[in-house]
Amino acid sequence: MMDAELATPHHVTVGFTGVPGARTFFLQAEDDVQRVGFLLEKEQARGIGELLGQLLARLGDGGASDWDRAAMELRAPVEGRWRVGELSLGFDPEQDRFLLELTELVADEGGPEPREARVWLDRDQARRLASHALEVVDQGRPTCELCGRPTELDGAHVCPATNGHGKLSR
């Protein structure tokens, strides 16, 4: 069931509320008629940045090296219509536009049909979103050099790579 389609958005971004270790991620898109927000997992936000970057590279187009970060902020009110379960990205060469498709996460397979949303992006929006999404995700807690898991803000955590023998600190 199609819940929203933004064919010509003027604002598309990924952002978060909260603090590292307790962040809630959102995808937000806005056109002249509506602003929609969707709840994301951190890895989905990272995936948007990485996949858009890969698609751009295949087209011989690099990511944005500089963009207006303030313009990419989430806009109030920050609300999620629903949590994203699946997302896909594609490129339509005839329109020279990217398509981001979102499908709602549903807990009960016998329940209502999941809602869907589509957001179309031009190349400039795709470049900015790719770079911004990766930068936003990386603003979280540092990762352990040994296991790659998030650490506390001071760098300490119980590391599986040390086989449970004490805390690793930087």
Q: Greater confidence, 109 or 36?
A: 36
- Write out the residue limits of the CATH 3.30.2450 domain(s) in the chain: 2-139
The mean pLDDT value for 64-86 works out to 90
Radius of gyration of the chain (CA): 18
Which position has the higher pLDDT, 62 or 76? 76
Q: Which residues neighbour 44 within 8 Å (Cβ) at sequence distance 6 or greater?
A: 25, 84, 87
Query: Coil, helix or strand for 26?
Result: strand
pLDDT at residue 162 is higher than 50: yes
Fold designation for 2-139: Secreted effector protein pipB2 fold (3.30.2450)
pLDDT interval class at 96 (50, 70, 90): very high
Per-residue pLDDT, 170? 45
Report the distance separating Cα 3 and Cα 30, nearest Å: 14
User: pTM, whole model, 2 decimals?
Assistant: 0.83
Please report the pLDDT score of residue 77 as a whole number: 93
Q: What percent of the chain has pLDDT over 70?
A: 91
List, for residues 30-55, the tens digit of each pLDDT value: 999 999 999 999 999 999 999 999 99
Question: pLDDT confidence of 106, banded at 50, 70, 90?
Answer: very high
* 145 compared with 60, residue with greater pLDDT: 60
Average pLDDT over residues 76-88: 96
For range 90-104, the mean pLDDT = 97
pLDDT band of residue 143 (cuts 50, 70, 90) is confident
Does the pLDDT value for residue 139 go beyond 70?
A: yes
Closest CA to 122 of 142, 88, 99: 99
167: amino acid identity, one letter: K
Q: Is the peptide bond before 9 cis (omega within 30 degrees of 0)?
A: no
